């Protein structure tokens, strides 16, 4: 097999934003491996998606212990492709993983204990064949474990050299503020918060984005295409090879979410996108990136064209007031 050689001018194709007040810059578009990189997926397609991303200046790959299916498989796929193609470029990549959702049986494979976080990251590093991850996240708040324990575990992991930076995900504004304060106190500042944010799900606008801005912590968003709903793919039924059509589990959208009301909104949004000379997917990503408090959007992709379309989207992330008003009216 031919050795992978990334495109020479890859860094000219992407823009990068500083993550909070850290030393790290992230690409406006990052790539997530939640779906499409499991055992059920075609390895050569996975390889092509990763190549296309890196060839376009996407330097950040986002993983978690439980991505698959089965859980762990996305890290294994990534580990294989990293070893074969990306090893010479390790220092050009920001690779993240997480723990917080159920990963193994028994009381130590879920939520936020030090026991779970430390052992899960050890497993992730083995699966990916890495000495360290760049960012390690606590994946969701744990209502039972004292926050102090979870935060101390994140600090420990950095001191052990197993992660360079840490982040939190799915923490509400007040929980995030507490975690950020505790991490700062320990001398391991919180780099980033990973939050769901799309035109269909705007909860972060309420308080979280203000907290992150004040605390100078970056924000990286996920499901910004609402898992594919905010594209034109479901306008004329449910394609068999789509996320809905594949009947996936572990949090993937299902047919019941493709309602006539959603499709009506998508149709109207699609018209605005057309007037901007963008696809709806591109406008949905641009709409997130118009806010400078967002460091990066994590894209999910099942095809290389979805990656190149997203990269194209960053050429126009400005909106007129009229466009924004029209979008708000549709979303109400």
- The yes or no reply on residue 194 touching ligand NAP (CB under 6 A) is yes
Q: Which of 66, 120, 223, 296 binds ligand NAP (CB under 6 A)?
A: 223
- The yes or no reply on residue 309 touching ligand NAP (CB under 6 A) is yes
Helix (H, G, I), strand (E, B) or coil at 195: strand
Q: What DSSP string runs through 61-85?
A: EE--TT-TTTTTHHHHHHHHHIIII
Q: Which of 65, 169, 188, 278 binds ligand NAP (CB under 6 A)?
A: 169
Cα–Cα distance measured from residue 61 to residue 230, given in angstroms and rounded to the nearest whole number: 22
CB closer to ligand NAP, 2 vs 192: 192
Helix (H, G, I), strand (E, B) or coil at 265: helix
Q: Which of 231, 278, 295, 296 binds ligand NAP (CB under 6 A)?
A: 231
Query: From residue 15 to residue 54, what is the string marking binding to ligand NAP with x (rule CB under 6 A)?
Result: -----------------xxxxx------------------
CB closer to ligand NAP, 1 vs 24: 24
- Cβ 2 to ligand NAP shortest distance, Å: 27
Window contacting ligand NAP (CB under 6 A); options: 112-120, 145-153, 298-306, 324-332: 298-306
- Cβ 305 to ligand NAP shortest distance, Å: 7
Short-list 200, 149, 145, 207, CA closest to 176? 207
3-state secondary structure 124-173: HHHHHCCCCEEEEEECCCCCCCCHHHHHHHHHHHHHCCCEEEEEEECCCH
Residue with tokens 């944010």: 197
Q: Which of 97, 150, 170, 295 binds ligand NAP (CB under 6 A)?
A: 170
Helix (H, G, I), strand (E, B) or coil at 178: helix
Cα–Cα distance measured from residue 291 to residue 324, given in angstroms and rounded to the nearest whole number: 12
Q: Which residues bind ligand NAP (CB under 6 A)?
A: 32-36, 62, 139, 169-170, 194, 222-228, 231, 233, 242-243, 281, 298-302, 306, 309
């Amino acid at each position: 097999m031919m050795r992978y050689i990334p495109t020479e001018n890859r860094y000219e194709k992407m823009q990068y934003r500083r993550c909070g007040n850290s030393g790290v810059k992230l690409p406006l578009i990052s790539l997530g491996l939640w779906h499409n990189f499991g055992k059920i997926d075609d390895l050569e397609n996975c390889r092509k998606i990763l190549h296309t991303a890196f060839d376009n200046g996407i330097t950040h790959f986002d993983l978690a212990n439980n991505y698959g299916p089965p859980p762990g498989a996305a890290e294994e796929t990534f580990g294989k492709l990293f070893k074969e193609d990306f090893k010479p470029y390790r220092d050009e990549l920001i690779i993240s993983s997480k723990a917080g959702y159920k990963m193994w049986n028994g009381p130590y494979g879920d939520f936020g204990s030090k026991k779970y976080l430390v052992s899960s990251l050890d497993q992730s590093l083995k699966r990916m064949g890495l000495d360290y991850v760049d960012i390690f996240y606590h994946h969701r708040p744990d209502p039972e474990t004292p926050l102090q324990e979870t935060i101390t575990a994140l600090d420990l992991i950095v001191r052990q050299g197993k992660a360079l930076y840490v982040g939190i995900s799915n923490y509400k504004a007040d929980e995030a503020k507490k975690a950020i304060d505790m991490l700062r106190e320990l001398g391991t500042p919180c780099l980033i918060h990973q939050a769901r944010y799309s035109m269909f799900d705007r909860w972060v606008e309420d308080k979280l984005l203000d907290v992150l801005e004040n605390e100078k912590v970056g924000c990286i968003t996920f499901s910004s295409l609402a898992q594919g709903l905010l594209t034109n793919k479901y306008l004329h039924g449910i394609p068999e090879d789509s996320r809905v059509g594949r009947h996936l589990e572990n949090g993937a959208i299902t047919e019941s979410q493709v309602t006539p009301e959603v499709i009506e909104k998508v149709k109207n949004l699609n018209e605005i996108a057309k007037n901007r000379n963008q696809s709806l997917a591109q406008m949905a990503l641009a709409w997130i990136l118009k806010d400078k408090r967002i460091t990066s959007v994590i894209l999910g992709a099942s095809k290389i064209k979805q990656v190149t379309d997203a990269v194209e989207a960053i050429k126009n992330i400005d909106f007129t007031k009229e466009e924004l008003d029209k979008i708000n009216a549709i979303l109400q």
